[in-house]
Amino acid sequence: MFISKKEVQVRYAETDQMGVVYHANYIIWLELGRTQIVEDLGFRYADMEKDGIVSPVMDVQISYKKPMTYGETATVHTWIEKYNGVKTVYGYEIYNEQNDLVVTATSTHACVRKDTFRPISLKREYPEWHKVYEENKKQ
């Protein structure tokens, strides 16, 4: 199983009145991690979008363990938790600079045609992508 890593600097605008990262901003960091793993595996979402394919979020599960504050660096670990050729579940762990686990999460996606939102088979439409996801998913 391949695990991608993406560092994110906590910006002041991402914090709330209590001085900690606002909870919804972690979901943005999940997207950064997801984009990073796709690139690390040799692909680009932008190329798929040029073909009229998008990958909407179907579900997000997130658990907050510890707060992060302005000026810290978060490291988003991302992997392919489950993959069946149509639907992908990405797994995430976010760590602070002390290597403390601050967030665990999963997000579920399907690739669909942008004009109809009908799902596609990655195996049929993007066989190289399918092969790499099969080889790198959690066993």
Q: How far apart are CA 78 and CA 106, in angstroms?
A: 9
Strand partners, 112: 54, 119
The total number of residues shown for the chain amounts to: 139
Using alpha carbons, list the distances in angstroms from residue 102 to 19, 67, 105, 110.
16, 7, 10, 27
End-to-end CA distance of the chain: 7
Is residue 40 part of the annotated active site? The answer reads no
Q: Which region, left, alpha or beta, applies to residue 8 given φ > 0 means left and ψ of -120 to 50 means alpha?
A: beta
Catalytic residue among 16, 47, 51, 59: 16
Amino acid in the structure at residue 102:
V
Residues designated as active site: 16
